Amino acid sequence: MKRLLLLFLAMCGCDDATTIVVDNAYTDDTVVDEVWWSQTLVPDQVAPGSESPAYRTTPALETAYVVAERGGNVFVARTVIPLGVNRSAELHVVVSPQNIVGDCAFSSARLTQPEADFITQRIFPGRFAGAVYDAATCKTFKP
C-alpha cells in the first residue's frame, strides 16, 4: 500500500512544492522582521545578507509587504512591483532599498498614508495594535 501511495505521488507531481524565500539584501544593520506575500507569512527575522527558510506557498502574482527595523526604528514597506511565482518554483522576495517603497532612510519613494495604514492595520495588525504609523517619517507612535 505504501509503495502505491509513493508511486501515485511521484506520478502526479504532488511533491513539487511552490515555495517563498526572503532575501535581505541590505548591507547595513537593517533586519527584516517578517514578510507577507499572497497568503503566506514568513515570520523569521532575516539578518542583512541572509535568507529565510523556504515556506510553502501557492502560485500567485502579488505585492509583498515587509516589516523591518534599523537602529531600533521599525518601518513598513511594500515591493515596488507585484512578484509572481509559478507552480513548483521558488519565489525570492529580495528586500533592498531598490526593491521596496517605504524606507525613509534610503529612498525618496514613500508609502502614502493609506498604504501604510493598510499594511499596519490589515496585514500586520497585531504588530501595530494600539499604535499609529506615520508614513512621512517612518515612525510608530503610541497615541
Q: What is the pLDDT of residues 96-116, one digit of tens each?
A: 999 999 999 998 889 999 999
Asked, for residue 10, whether it belongs to a domain, the answer is: no
Tell me how many degrees the CA angle 108-43-89 measures, rounded to the nearest 5: 85
Instruction: Specify the pTM.
Output: 0.88
Asked, for residue 40, whether it belongs to a domain, the answer is: yes
Asked, for residue 1, whether it belongs to a domain, the answer is: no
Cβ pair 22, 46 in contact under 8 A: yes
Domain with 108 in it: 15-141
Query: What does the CA dihedral 76, 77, 82, 87 come to, rounded to 10 degrees?
Result: -50
More confident residue, 7 or 126: 126
Asked, for residue 5, whether it belongs to a domain, the answer is: no
Asked, for residue 65, whether it belongs to a domain, the answer is: yes
Asked, for residue 108, whether it belongs to a domain, the answer is: yes
In the chain, the number of structural domains is 1
Angstrom distance (rounded) from CA 131 to CA 65: 18
